[in-house]
Amino acid sequence: MRRSCSSACTCCLTTRPDYTQKFHGIYGQLERQLRVPLVPFLLAGIADKPEMFQADQIHPTQQAQPVLLNNVWPAVKPLLGTGSPR
């Protein structure tokens, strides 16, 4: 089964410069307005590796999770603070 094209799919981001510019512009604007961190590209490091996706070619596999964590962690860690959750 092939991955279907969605509004934020890799194929659009890599083949349509106008789309890419608008996509990044919107999220950069939201980052500034809402003062929230931006994860530049969640699927960085796996988007072009079909073996990192389940059979539906949409959902990442268990093996992809450490890569996704590394992509998200720099934005999430500062939000957690240094206090203990207890």
CA distances to 13, 23, 25, 48, 66 from 16, rounded to whole Å, are: 6, 11, 14, 17, 29
CA distance 7 to 19: 9
- Is 10's pLDDT higher than 80? no
Q: Which residue has the higher pLDDT, 5 or 35?
A: 35
Q: Which residue has the higher pLDDT, 10 or 37?
A: 37
Q: Where are the domains of the chain?
A: 7-36, 41-80
CA distance 42 to 67: 9
CA distance 79 to 70: 15
**Taking the model in full, what pTM does it have?**
0.67
How high is the pLDDT of residue 59? 95
